[in-house]
Structure 1
Amino acid sequence: MSKKTSAYLNAIANDNSLPIEQAALDLWLKDLQNPLRWGVRPLLQFIFAMLLHIIWFFKRLPLPQFSAHKHLQKLICWFCSHFVSREANLLILRHYATESNILNFLAANSPGSPANPVNLYPKSIADMQHASFVDHDQELFRLFAELGSWHHPEQPLKPTELSWQQWQPIDMSSFQLTEKRTQWLDFESAHALFMCLFCLLLTREEYRDAINGFNLDQSIAKRIADLIGDNTLTEMAYNKYPHYLVGPWNLGQRFLMHGFFTEHLYAYLEQRRQRQEQ
């Protein structure tokens, strides 16, 4: 961090109390110093939060439902490749990998019949047209349905019993991004623009499910905590209580904290995997 960086940012640049990979921390700290985050983002979030609630209201009316997944994917990928900063794009690509790894670890080590693994590991913006934002949510719901009711194991698994078969460590050099001069938008400002598009181009049930899927973070943490014997993992989950369905209020913060949750839990599990290999 530079000497001109604030005292607080210098502090969190050296705080690893919660596990996080240095690459993710560096990207986030750079994104935090994007001037647009502090100047433009509050205005964007205010305007688009109002628009989001208007779209949400009309989607809840007893009208014919429609969705346009392909158009949604193309618009998001086009916008990312032209206007979203390199740091934000890398954080988005990392999120696919962190969550896929966590879900695959859970599937591989859960008692009973294993669920089919999640295979969403895009390496570029173009890949995200296929590793769909929609599939990202639907794969989570599929996995939980296939795992079924959770039977809390009497004893956690021994380190040698843990399966890492589907685990894919994140290699930052594998991500392929072409930078453009127009790519200046920070992570949170980009999400403020995306959230209205999602609400419009998904059916009301798809969108409602997507914004409530964050609340499964607590369930994921609890299940993995049971498997490895560390009950502190549930403290990483900001989004909780999946049986309580919510609307789009405070969506930006809940979305961001979901991203932090997967980064923290991925880093924690990756550290355990590396210790086991050694």
Structure 2
Amino acid sequence: MSRRSPFLRALEADDTLPIEREALTLWLDDMQRPTRWSLRPLLQLVLGALLHLTWFFKRLPLPQFRAHGLLQRLICWFCRHVVSPEANLLILRHYATESNVINFLIDNGAAGKVEPLALYPRRIEDMLTESFVDHDQELFRAFAELGERGQDSAPRPPEALRWDHWRPLDMAEFTVERRRTQVLDFESAHVLFMCLFCLLLTREEYRDAINGFNLDQSIALRIGRMIDDPSLAELAYNKYPHYLVGPWNLSQRFLMHGFFTEHLYARLEGLRRETTSA
């Protein structure tokens, strides 16, 4: 008998939205951690207020500072020792899903003209070099080089799509050492991380990072045109990138960005498999 509630069992069985079974299982398991329902609300209240104070401090006309190396080491330490194995695997998956989605845009819109993303960490230690900061900057770099219309985003038949730099996810390739101290759920971990990001990035780097989520709509529209599926835009929770926002509601926006990349990856991977088998 499943230990999940009736609603979570319904989610487990619902395949309306594209998402790989491995990602769904990791998410449902992580959501049932006690810290998600007990500790997270308190952390969000206290650290949410601290985040806005840090945001205000960083916006003052003072010399800017950043510490990317320290940020990476602190996050990786927390991931190794405190964050749940399920959450760590979801973080590692996110690098790969987003790199694949952007590489699909490049392969089919500007192959040979834009350098593809190479951020595919497989262990927590890899994230010391395949960094959280680079994850954002590589997205911005790819969009800037793709240009105003993504160079070539015209619809094309499935057999004409290119998958040159696509790397299908194999969960057996991901390695996360399990420790007894790894009890913190995904959302609580993000609440802890968000103040570190705000403090240890420059104000412009952090502002760009939290607004980069809104490129989800642009990605969905471009890929939707390529594969002739306008419904992809409905998968994007974060929209309207021309309107810059602050850290309000950041946790939910971050989480929905993660869901978006998982949904888009699953949709494209399904298309790739169908085309290959055909």
TM-score (norm 1): 0.97
Distance 1:245 1:155, change over 3 A: closer
Q: Deviations over 1:236-268 (max 9, x none)?
A: 000000000000000000000000000000000
Q: Deviations over 1:73-110 (max 9, x none)?
A: 00000110000000000000000000000000001101
2:77 maps to which residue?
78
Deviation at 1:161, TM superposition (A): 1.2
2:181 is paired with a residue whose SS is coil
- Asked if 1 retains the 8 angstrom alpha-carbon contact of 2:109 and 2:151, the reply is no
Q: Measure the CA separation in 2 of the matches of 1:153 and 1:8.
A: 42
Instruction: Output aligned runs, 1:22-171, within 5 Å.
Output: 22-110=21-109, 114-150=113-149, 155-171=154-170
2:252 maps to which residue?
253
- Asked if 2 retains the 8 angstrom alpha-carbon contact of 1:153 and 1:226, the reply is no
Please state if 1:195 is matched with 2:194: yes
Deviation at 1:186, TM superposition (A): 0.2
Q: Measure the CA separation in 2 of the matches of 1:167 and 1:155.
A: 20
- Asked if 2 retains the 8 angstrom alpha-carbon contact of 1:36 and 1:185, the reply is yes
2:13 is paired with a residue whose SS is coil
Deviation at 1:206, TM superposition (A): 0.1
Deviation at 1:4, TM superposition (A): 3.7
Q: Deviations over 1:42-79 (max 9, x none)?
A: 00011100000000000000000000000000000011
Please state if 1:15 is matched with 2:27: no
1:198 is paired with a residue whose SS is helix
2:263 maps to which residue?
264
- Asked if 2 retains the 8 angstrom alpha-carbon contact of 1:108 and 1:114, the reply is no
- Asked if 2 retains the 8 angstrom alpha-carbon contact of 1:19 and 1:267, the reply is yes
Q: Measure the CA separation in 2 of the matches of 1:80 and 1:248.
A: 23
Q: Deviations over 1:149-176 (max 9, x none)?
A: 1068685111121100000000000011
Deviation at 1:3, TM superposition (A): 3.8
Q: Measure the CA separation in 2 of the matches of 1:246 and 1:252.
A: 13
2:243 is paired with a residue whose SS is coil
Identity %: 65
Q: Measure the CA separation in 2 of the matches of 1:112 and 1:88.
A: 33
Q: Measure the CA separation in 2 of the matches of 1:249 and 1:18.
A: 27
Pairwise CA RMSD: 1.3
- Where do 5+ consecutive residues of structure 1 fail to align? none
Aligned residues: 277
Q: Measure the CA separation in 1 of the matches of 2:74 and 2:4.
A: 35
- Asked if 1 retains the 8 angstrom alpha-carbon contact of 2:59 and 2:203, the reply is yes
- Asked if 2 retains the 8 angstrom alpha-carbon contact of 1:83 and 1:185, the reply is yes
Deviates more, 1:77-86 or 1:107-116: 107-116
